[in-house]
Structure 1
Amino acid sequence: MTSGIPGFTYHRVPVGDGVALNTATGGSGPAVVLLHGFPQTHLMWRHVAAELAADHTVICPDLRGYGASDKPAETGPDTYAKRTMAADVVALARALGHERFALAGHDRGALVAFRAGLDHPAAVTHLACLDVLPTLDMWDVMHGVSAAVGWHLYLMAQPPGLPEKMIAADPDAFFGAFLDQWAKDPEAIPAEARGAYLAACRDAIPSIVADYRASAGVDVAHDAADRARGTRLRMPVTVVQQDWGAALGYDAAAVWGAWAGDLRHHTTTAGHFMAEEAPAEIVERLRELLAR
């Protein structure tokens, strides 16, 4: 399993600016791109990808800065902006022969997917976002002691230097804590997968921090500009989340509804790593979305 998704073919696909993405592809039919979250790689989609490949071309990249994809040095706020990472995804799909594609993302990948949906509506036919809020809204709902759940967001928002040094002091403890704390079913992430995730994170500390740092700066600015313009997602959208609204005191469906007119919002009893903890549920939700 750690060597890849069984039955999928691996490519290194150039997406521009000297960056290439490690990408697994399988199946045939309409294209679906699946974007992983933190602290994971494309392997988090292994169960879902295998099911969807029965009737879709499934494309599973490691995001820039993660896994076996390139990790350019952070030269400015745009290096790991979600706008930049979304452009990577569109370029990847086109390089593989797909001008239009469905897109699903989890966690960090969902933020990239959200930005791709806003920036590239002609390319993204359907959009699914798992267990996030758009960046601008995420910061709006984090307040008081409830913000403790997002402590890592504040750490990695700091200027370059200190957060990287702190994480590098014991990366397995840092990244492993999220795998332990966010999974309701720890057995859903077996030792092989956990080992692969931790090994990939050890090699990507600066780029992972840069990704998060962008979400405390340039990503907020991009979302705020779209909100001011009234930009909305034009394609069918599905959101699957834990019941963070009840936990943190906001209406999650209303938050997403401000961005998407054709929205189906679902809560799940699975943990954060729902594509591994409840893959059948996620496949069902994605198939419902693709049929719209």
Structure 2
Amino acid sequence: MRVDDGVALNVAVGGAGSPVVLLHGFPQTHLMWRHVAADLAADHTVICPDLRGYGASDKPAETDADVYSKRTMARDVVRLAAALGHDRFTLAGHDRGALVAFRAAMDHPDAVTGALFLDVLPTLDMWDALRGVSGAVGFHLYLMAQPPGLPEEMIQAAADSFFAFFLDDWTETPDAIPAELRAHYLAASTAAVPSIVADYRASAGVDVDHDTADKEKGNRLAMPVTVLQQDWGASLGYHAQGLWSAWADDLEHRTVSCGHFMAEEDPRMVADEIRALAAR
């Protein structure tokens, strides 16, 4: 479905009821929501797109910094929902999708009735948290923040191993991502190296500018917000709930025991949290 400047998003839609939009993370596609979407479809219209630059969605060239800004990607999502007949919806995002969801909630508060963020920090707080040797966990963020050329060349030289590292290292439940899904994620990511790098590069540039402007103006998330995170705070030296509280007044923050890919490791828990948020 075409949403912006000729860019088309691959999207799966199912169920009936109040709309819920689910945004995938890295290095995945909309299929990461397969269990959660099937659960929610019993009483919600569930919309699962591949973000621009990922999966089967279009991958426009990075002709300027805004092509893969979270502001642009968020606009894609809002326009997609509107094209499907939904001007207001509950929004959930994981990882990169959570950053898109954050920007959508900031820029389009009249559209987003509630926001769920899975295992992520807002962009400004993420960069502040990654310091000293503990910041090595985010090595890929610094690699993909570099100017065009070198990061793409390095990742393409060993793309399968690069993306597999995150799928394997960040999963605590070994069978949460079956072999056929793992192969799908690797193939989709390997085919999208330039656009994935562009997405990450934007988070070290234009996305920082947008978030900084909001912080300086005192802009906050106006809707109910739920955040589910692993307990990264002790190792990285930050208080996650405190950081999120600076952005949202109506906040539910929970630390969970599963790995990073929680929509696949504990889909019932994630579906229950989305359903509860949508009911508020």
The bucket for the TM-score relative to the shorter chain is: over 0.9
Matched position secondary structure for 1:25 = strand
2:118 aligns to what?
130
Matched position secondary structure for 1:113 = helix
Question: 2:186 matched to 1:198?
Answer: yes
2:68 aligns to what?
80
Output aligned runs, 1:57-68, within 5 Å: 57-68=45-56
What percentage of aligned pairs have identical amino acids?
Answer: 72
1:230 aligns to what?
218
2:7 aligns to what?
19
TM-aligned CA deviation for residue 286 of structure 1: 1.3
Matched position secondary structure for 2:67 = coil
Matched position secondary structure for 2:204 = coil
Output aligned runs, 1:128-167, within 5 Å: 128-167=116-155
Question: 2:50 matched to 1:55?
Answer: no
TM-aligned CA deviation for residue 247 of structure 1: 2.1
Deviations 1:187-215 (A, max 9, x none): 10000100110110111000000000000
TM-aligned CA deviation for residue 245 of structure 1: 1.4
TM-aligned CA deviation for residue 124 of structure 1: 0.3
Question: 2:156 matched to 1:168?
Answer: yes
Deviations 1:152-174 (A, max 9, x none): 00000000000000011111100
Question: 2:20 matched to 1:32?
Answer: yes
2:235 to 247, 262, 281: 247
TM-aligned CA deviation for residue 186 of structure 1: 2.1
Q: Tell me the distance in 2 between the aligned counterparts of 1:242 and 1:38.
A: 16
TM-aligned CA deviation for residue 97 of structure 1: 0.4
Q: Tell me the distance in 1 between the aligned counterparts of 2:214 and 2:242.
A: 17
Which range moves more in the overlay, 92-101 or 279-288? Answer: 279-288
Q: Tell me the distance in 2 between the aligned counterparts of 1:25 and 1:287.
A: 17
2:96 aligns to what?
108
TM-aligned CA deviation for residue 90 of structure 1: 0.3
1:9 aligns to what?
none
TM-aligned CA deviation for residue 246 of structure 1: 1.9
Letter matched to residue 238 of structure 1:
T
Matched position secondary structure for 1:188 = coil
Q: TM-score, normalised by structure 2?
A: 0.99
TM-aligned CA deviation for residue 290 of structure 1: 1.5
Q: Tell me the distance in 2 between the aligned counterparts of 1:119 and 1:16.
A: 16
Q: TM-score, normalised by structure 1?
A: 0.95
Deviations 1:122-168 (A, max 9, x none): 00001000000000110011100010000000000000000000011
Question: 2:238 matched to 1:265?
Answer: no
Deviations 1:25-68 (A, max 9, x none): 00011100000000000000000000000000000000000000
2:84 aligns to what?
96
Letter matched to residue 241 of structure 1:
Q
Letter matched to residue 222 of structure 1:
H
Task: Name structure 1 gaps, 5 residues minimum.
Answer: 1-12
Runs of 4+ with deviation above 4 angstroms: none
Q: Tell me the distance in 1 between the aligned counterparts of 2:219 and 2:57.
A: 31
Letter matched to residue 239 of structure 1:
V
Q: Tell me the distance in 1 between the aligned counterparts of 2:133 and 2:232.
A: 14
Q: Tell me the distance in 2 between the aligned counterparts of 1:285 and 1:30.
A: 15
Matched position secondary structure for 2:65 = coil
Letter matched to residue 233 of structure 1:
L
2:263 aligns to what?
275
TM-aligned CA deviation for residue 71 of structure 1: 0.1
Q: Tell me the distance in 2 between the aligned counterparts of 1:109 and 1:239.
A: 13
Letter matched to residue 200 of structure 2:
Y
Letter matched to residue 66 of structure 1:
Y
Matched position secondary structure for 1:146 = helix
